[in-house]
Amino acid sequence: MYDIFQTDRLIDLWLTEDIGCCDLTAQLMIDEDAVGTFHMNAREPMIIAGIQVAARLLTRYDARLQVTCLVKDSDKVEKGKRILTVSGPARSILTAERPALNILQLLCGIATETARYKQALEGTQTRLIDTRKTTPGLRMLEKHAVTCGGGLNHRLGLDNGVMLKDNHIAIAGSIVKAVERARKNLPVLTKIEVECDRLDQVAEALEAGVDVIMLDNMSIADMTTAVKIIDGRAKIEASGGIRIDTIREIALTGVDYISTSKITQAAPIVDIGLDE
């Protein structure tokens, strides 16, 4: 999902932001030739995501550091599990500690929350997908974390597909006209999705022959009716106002996908510590 080149650019920004000119505390308190071994430990149960990113950050700051990842992305670990060990110059370890922990805690939090939402869908045919509501600059990493938690990725960016929302439709004049215009120069194999918040729009989207129909903020009753109207002629995505306590009821209407920003924007940060 992410490549080293793009990740290194981000790591450089994170290190520059956190360190500034130097780590004054480390330089004053730790001898230049001091070495040490430290361990990252999970302080609560979690799903791992971004362990290689944290390792890469440490060695990019100081290539002399020896980092061993003791888990891999998508692993489920319990409280107290040792997940990474780093050895080498003590100054460097303590200087790079915080940004390494920050990104790892964020990504593991997203993976863990995704897994929680996915678990609520067990026994249904509905798949969990993410949205473009991600932290600016961190989209590829956060979407990778979603997959580590068992979710699927929606569009990675605006160039990944055509999604016609209410404003696009208003400008075109109707759903049919909007779809016709989009289809004229549509790249081969690219799908068209239409956002619908009323049942009459669902019927119009079917008439236009779209690939995916998004049921936006519909009631359970309307979603149930929409699934019957569509009857397998298009894939169905439910979105808007999805919560952990409502997601299963929505899935039981028969939709193919449920998308939510809660797994990225509202995922709690998990607790990971660096201990000697």
> Same structural domain for residues 8 and 97?
yes
> Same structural domain for residues 71 and 187?
no
- Residues recognised as catalytic: 98, 133, 165, 195, 216
Per residue in 32-43, pLDDT (tens digit) is: 999 999 999 999
pLDDT band, very low/low/confident/very high, at 3 (cuts 50, 70, 90): confident
Domain holding 93: CATH number? 3.90.1170.20
Q: What's this model's pTM, rounded to 2 decimal places?
A: 0.95
Per residue in 226-267, pLDDT (tens digit) is: 999 999 999 999 999 999 999 999 999 999 999 999 999 999
> Same structural domain for residues 64 and 123?
no
The overall average pLDDT reported for the chain is: 96
Residue 2 confidence (pLDDT) above 70: no
Ordered alpha helix ranges (H), the chain: 4-19, 24-29, 51-61, 90-119, 139-148, 166-172, 175-184, 199-208, 220-230, 247-251, 262-265
Residue 200 confidence (pLDDT) = 97
Q: Are 179 and 209 in contact (CB under 8 A)?
A: yes
Residue 1 confidence (pLDDT) above 90: no
Domain holding 226: CATH number? 3.20.20.70
> Same structural domain for residues 92 and 194?
no
Domain total of the chain: 2
Coil/strand/helix, residue 196: strand
Q: Are 163 and 193 in contact (CB under 8 A)?
A: yes
Q: Which domain holds residue 219?
A: 119-265
